Amino acid sequence: MNIHVPFFNYSFLFESQKEHFLKTFQDVSSRGAFITQKDLVDFEQNLAVFSGAEYAVGVANATDALEMLIAATGIGYGDEVIFCSHTMVATASAIHVNGAIPIPVEAGADHLIDPASIEQAITPRTKAIMPTQLNGRTCDMDAVQEIADKHNLLIFEDSAQALGSRFKGRHAGTFGVGGCISFYPAKILGCLGDGGAVLCNDQKIYNKIMLMRDHGRNPETGDVDLWGRNSRLDNLQAAFLDLQFKEYDKVISRRRHIANIYQEQLGSIEQLVLPPAPDSSPDHFDVFQNYEIEAERRDELKEYLTEQGVGTLIQWGGKAVHQFKKLGFGQSLPYTERLFETILMVPMNMSLSDDDVHYVSDCIKYFYQR
């Protein structure tokens, strides 16, 4: 009899801490603390301390976070911003809605932005680089920073998948101008709905985003100081997030343990390329938001795993951003295009038991031994 291992178990997020969630709901609701109350302030402070950022601003979602972060710097019409095409379309749309031009470049062997491809894409109109810290790994920010310094470019980080990930001891989202975090339910730290945050170290950027998230209104004067939007992180969601944040280090440790099992079980299969193992590089501390492998006969493997009750996912619907031609992209990125013929994400979440991970691994091993 097959075991059922879903790619992500959404109900587990609630059921695993049901009693605590219900107590939090009752507490917040009984106080009528629904919009920008103490729970949000407390969570923002805890998030800033954890990440090493000077400031954290809770917003409605990570897409808003990126859009406001870009807008706060004045980047706009005709400016070019370079990003890795192996990302969610929201990365590019955040550039586009600010009037700037998203310029997709290649992913590297680590599935993150390729520094050499950045250099090749720079023009006189280039104003910024936006690396995506993908799958819980932070890219080589030394290389990105060197390019940015050389060409006088800003750095924005799409760190939606990387809360807790570090490069040379520094947290994702704290390089350059700042970064965004997503609290979508399937993220490592997920709320019961949409949510996001901006991390930054510049007080002027922080002050602007604080105004932007609340219609541009100045809380001290009552005036509207700039064009803004309604993008406040719900106070109830902030309370749910802060509740879970208390155990965040344990969550990361568990994910790294699962990654070690996959490495031990699958590392010798020639037809697979696995993510870097935990502690395989002194420069990287990965938190494994996802476990994205490269697999020969990927589509056959995916079908076989489905038959065995194992849920899998190909990110972004199986296309890199530049392959969405209706958005006006015309670039050819051969490495990334080949990558999207092989990448597959296998289960990586807190509902998994060790037995589940071994079952998934056994199914993959059997597929390639047949």
Q: What is the pLDDT of residue 51?
A: 97
Q: Is the pLDDT of residue 210 over 70?
A: yes
What is the band of 3 on the pLDDT scale with cuts at 50, 70, 90?
confident
Q: What is the pLDDT of residue 258?
A: 98
CA distance 257 to 260: 5
Q: Is the pLDDT of residue 182 over 80?
A: yes
pLDDT in tens, 266-298: 999 999 999 999 999 999 999 999 999 999 999
CA distance 315 to 332: 19
Strand stretches in the chain, DSSP E: 55-59, 80-84, 101-105, 126-130, 154-158, 166-167, 170-171, 178-182, 196-200, 272-273, 284-285, 291-295, 343-346
- The answer to whether the beta carbons of residues 217 and 223 sit under 8 Å apart is yes
Q: Is the pLDDT of residue 2 over 80?
A: no
Domains located in the chain, CATH noted: 12-245 (3.40.640.10), 248-369 (3.90.1150.10)
pLDDT in tens, 231-247: 999 999 999 999 999 99
CA distance 268 to 112: 23
Q: What is the pLDDT of residue 370?
A: 82
CA distance 207 to 172: 21
Beta bridge partners of 197: 58, 181
Q: What is the pLDDT of residue 1?
A: 55
Residue from 80, 38, 50, 47 nearest 65 by CA = 47
- Per the model's pLDDT, the better-predicted residue between 353 and 370 turns out to be 353
| Angle, helix 62-71 to helix 89-96, in steps of 10 degrees | 30
Q: What is the pLDDT of residue 133?
A: 98
Stretch 40-61: mean pLDDT: 98
Stretch 338-350: mean pLDDT: 98
CA distance 190 to 179: 17
Q: What is the pLDDT of residue 138?
A: 98
CA distance 202 to 263: 40
